[in-house]
Amino acid sequence: MDGRFRELIHKGGDMNFAHLCSMLHVSQFRFENPRIGVRHTMPSFLIPIHRGFTFHLLSIVLCSLVALSGCGGTAASFRLSPADAEKLNPILAELQLSYDLTSTLRILQLIVTIEEEGKKEEVRESLWYKKSETDGDLLHIQAMGPLNEPRVVAIAARNQFLLYLVNEEEVIFEPLEDQVLQEIFGVDLRVSDVRSAIFANPFLDGRTRELSLAHSGAKYVVTRPGTAAGQVEQITIFVRDSEPQVSDWKVRDKSGTIIQQAKFSDYREVGGIFRPHQIEIERPIEKTRVVLKIVKPEINGDISNKKFEFEPFLTEGTKRRFLR
C-alpha cells in the first residue's frame, strides 16, 4: 500500500492521541501519504487494512457516488438462454425495484467488527444516505466515540468529498474523483461495489449483459465476468415468498481462488422493503474478515439536506489539508 497506512506507533506527541483512539475502539492507523501528511484514525469503510487489504464495501460507502473506471476486460463469455432470461429477469427487476423505492436510508448504529490474523477490533459508525432530485446521491458517514459523539466525519455530495477529523479540527476537501480518492486512501475504490453492498444488490453497477444461470428450487446462482481480466463473480439469490434475497457474492481469480466473498443475512422488513441486517466480507488470502451488524435501519424517513452540507466543517478555525 505504498506505506500509506500503518499501525499507530505510541511515541512522543502521539501518546495521548493513540490512547484516545484505543479508548474509542477506533482502528489505529497512521495515514502517511506524503502528498497530504495528515495523521489520523479512519472509519472502517476507509481502512485498507495493512498488508495490502483493500476493502470495497464499504471502502462499503464513502465512494458510493463516483463511477470509477473499471479494470480490464475478461476472457470468458457468458450468455443467458431465453428460458433462463425469462426466469432471471423478474428477479433482477424486483431487486432493482427495492433500490428504486429507497429514497433515504439512515443507520444510526452500525457495528463493524474487523478480524485479521487473530486480531479483532470493533468500530461503531452511523450512516445517512439520500437520493436528491437536484443533487443526486448524498452520503454522510460518522465514526463514533464512546458517548456516540462523532470522531470522524465523511461527506460525499454534489461532486465534492470531505473528510473531517473532529478532535484535530482538520479537514480534507477535494473534488469527488477517483484520482483524488486514490491519492487520499492509496487504494482503487470501486464505487459500484460500495453501493451494491449497501443495498445488497450486486447488479446496481449495470453489468447484466453477460450472465449465466443455474437454478434449483428457490436457489438461483448467477455467474458473470468480474471487473478485472480473468475474474469471475458468482452471486447466489434465494427467492422466498416472491422476495429475492441475495445471500452470497463471490469473486474468484482466473485460477478459481476466492478473492473476496460477501454474505448477506438476517433479512427483515424495513419500511416495506426487505434488507439484510448483517453483512460479512471475507478476503481469504489476506486472512481478513469484516462483519457489519445493522441496528434499527430506517428507510424513507425525512433527512434534511443540511446533513450533507460542507460549510459547518470549513470554518475559519479549521486546518485544511490540500493534495499536492
β-strand partners of 121 = 114
User: Residue 4 and residue 302: Cα distance in Å, rounded?
Assistant: 38
The tens place of each residue's pLDDT in the chain, 324 residues long, gives 333 323 322 333 332 222 222 222 333 333 344 444 333 334 443 433 333 322 333 343 343 333 333 333 444 558 899 999 999 999 999 999 999 999 999 998 999 888 888 888 888 899 999 998 888 889 899 988 878 788 889 998 998 999 898 988 999 999 888 777 777 766 555 555 667 777 899 999 899 999 999 999 999 999 999 988 899 999 999 999 899 999 999 999 999 999 989 999 999 999 999 999 999 988 898 888 889 999 989 999 999 999 999 999 999 889 998 876
CA distance 57 to 262: 9
Report the C-alpha gap between 321 and 168 in whole angstroms. 12
Classify domain 5-321 at the CATH class level.
mainly beta
Task: Point out which residues pair with 185 in neighbouring strands.
Answer: none
**Whole-model pTM above 0.85?**
no
- The residues that bridge with 137 in the sheet, in sequence order, are 131
Instruction: Please state, in angstroms and rounded to a whole number, the distance separating the CA atoms of residues 59 and 70.
Output: 15
- Residues forming beta bridges with residue 112, ordered by sequence position: 123, 292
Sign for the pseudo-dihedral over CA of 146, 148, 153, 157? positive
> Nearest 5 degrees, angle CA 255-CA 188-CA 18?
115
305: left (phi over 0), alpha (psi -120 to 50) or beta: alpha
Q: Contact, 59 vs 194, CB < 8 A? A: yes
Whether 2 contacts 52, CB under 8 Å: no
